[in-house]
């Protein structure tokens, strides 16, 4: 395009059409770029995620809110013949059956106070691909008591027993479960809970079952022949609306209430005949 025009005289008016080329630009292109930059930045870094947790309490029943656990230890001799003949009375809620003496319990020896129950919460009962999302510890400093005689010359004294009534007041460690409040992060409201007892006196832990090895059909020669998912888990269902949870057994009956506590039984490893 030439921009140097020469106009010669010929006594006639002339019009000159000057083509002025204009290249249009988009309005606010910079803003668009800024917006695009934000989008890309979020793609690169990611959006903020909500890892905040909420407190879930045991759901009420009949005006009560306590959750009740009863942990039973095997009291018999750990020999094949004795074990195969064991009945329900062979398991009972007493630390005495689990290597502790009355003195250990009464004097609160470290071997006892450092022992604890551990509840693990998994997303599935399949041991092959399950994830343990959180854990709750129930210390032995909590729990109900029973009377024992330290000496024939002394009045009966209270010692702890592994029966727990956890609530908003009183014993409450382990009563509340803390879990993500945002359902969108992990869309999960059902967990499967297992229990273990960590014995500080012998430095071992034992697994606890939801049914004793005395119960049918395990007691008919199937003491160690069963599927883990049926005997080691109880189901815990969270309600995100009112921040509560309920516990169910394998028959989907609600447990953990005052009259129907969560009963767990010591699992004994296979014993040779």
User: Which CB atom, from 25 or from 251, has the smaller least distance to other proteins?
Assistant: 25
- Of the listed pieces 106-114, 142-150, 161-169, 207-215, which binds other proteins according to CB under 8 A? 161-169
What is the smallest separation between the CB atom of 57 and other proteins, expressed in angstroms?
7
57: which strand partners? 244
User: Which CB atom, from 60 or from 230, has the smaller least distance to other proteins?
Assistant: 60
User: Which CB atom, from 180 or from 268, has the smaller least distance to other proteins?
Assistant: 180
Tell me how far apart the alpha carbons of residues 66 and 260 are, in angstroms, rounded to a whole number. 11
User: Which CB atom, from 58 or from 196, has the smaller least distance to other proteins?
Assistant: 58
Residue pair 169/66 in contact (Cβ under 8 Å)? The answer is no
User: Which CB atom, from 44 or from 128, has the smaller least distance to other proteins?
Assistant: 44
For the record, the structure tokens of 187 come out as: 């869309």
Q: Which of 17, 29, 151, 270 binds other proteins (CB under 8 A)?
A: 29
Judged by CB under 8 A, does residue 26 bind other proteins?
no
87: which strand partners? none
Judged by CB under 8 A, does residue 155 bind other proteins?
no
With tokens 């009377």, the residue in question is 147
- Of the listed pieces 4-12, 99-107, 156-164, 227-235, which binds other proteins according to CB under 8 A? 4-12
Torsional class of 60: left (φ above 0), alpha (ψ -120 to 50), beta (otherwise)? beta
User: Which CB atom, from 77 or from 141, has the smaller least distance to other proteins?
Assistant: 141
User: Which CB atom, from 164 or from 223, has the smaller least distance to other proteins?
Assistant: 164
Pairing of strands 190-199, 204-209: antiparallel
What is the smallest separation between the CB atom of 115 and other proteins, expressed in angstroms?
23
DSSP per-residue letters across 205-248: EEEEESS-TTSTTTTTT-TT-S-HHHHS-EEEEEETTTTEEEEE
Q: Report the first-to-last Cα separation within the chain, whole angstroms.
A: 107
User: What is the length of the chain?
Assistant: 273
Segment holding 223, helix H or strand E = none
- Map the footprint of other proteins across residues 36-65, applying CB under 8 A: 37, 41, 44-45, 47-52, 54-55, 57, 60, 62-65
Judged by CB under 8 A, does residue 142 bind other proteins?
no
Cis, bond preceding 8 (omega within 30 deg of 0)? no
Buried b (16+ CB within 10 A) or exposed e, 96-119: bbbbbeeebbeeeeebbbebbbbb
**Among candidates 163, 166, 187, which has minimal Cα distance to 177?**
166
Q: Which of 80, 107, 149, 168 binds other proteins (CB under 8 A)?
A: 168
* Binding footprint of other proteins, residue count (CB under 8 A): 46
Judged by CB under 8 A, does residue 137 bind other proteins?
no
Binding site for other proteins (CB under 8 A): 3-9, 11, 13-14, 16, 18, 20, 22-23, 25, 29-30, 33, 37, 41, 44-45, 47-52, 54-55, 57, 60, 62-66, 167-170, 181, 242-243, 258
């Amino acid at each position: 395009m030439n921009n140097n025009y020469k106009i010669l005289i010929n006594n006639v008016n002339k019009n000159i059409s000057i083509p002025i080329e204009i290249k249009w630009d988009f309005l606010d292109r910079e803003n668009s770029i800024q917006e695009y930059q934000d989008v890309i930045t979020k793609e690169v870094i990611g959006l903020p995620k909500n890892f905040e947790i909420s407190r879930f309490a045991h759901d009420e029943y009949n005006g009560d809110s306590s959750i009740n656990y009863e942990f039973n230890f095997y009291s018999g001799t750990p020999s094949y013949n004795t074990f195969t003949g064991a009945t329900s009375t062979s398991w009972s809620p007493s630390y005495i059956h689990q290597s502790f003496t009355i003195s250990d319990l009464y004097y609160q020896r470290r071997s006892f106070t450092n022992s604890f129950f551990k509840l693990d919460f998994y997303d599935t009962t399949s041991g092959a691909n399950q994830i343990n999302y959180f854990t709750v510890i129930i210390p032995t400093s909590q729990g109900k008591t029973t009377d024992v005689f330290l000496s024939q010359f002394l009045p009966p004294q209270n010692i702890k027993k592994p029966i727990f009534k956890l609530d908003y007041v009183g014993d409450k460690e382990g009563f509340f479960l803390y879990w993500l409040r945002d359902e969108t992060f992990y869309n999960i409201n059902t967990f499967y809970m297992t229990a273990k007892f960590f014995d500080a006196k012998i430095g071992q832990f034992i697994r606890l079952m939801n049914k004793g090895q005395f119960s049918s059909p395990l007691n008919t020669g199937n003491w160690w022949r069963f599927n883990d998912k049926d005997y080691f888990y109880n189901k815990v269902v969270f309600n995100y609306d009112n921040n509560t949870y309920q516990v169910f057994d394998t028959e989907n009956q609600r447990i953990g209430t005052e009259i129907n506590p969560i009963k767990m039984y010591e699992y004994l490893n296979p014993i040779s005949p």
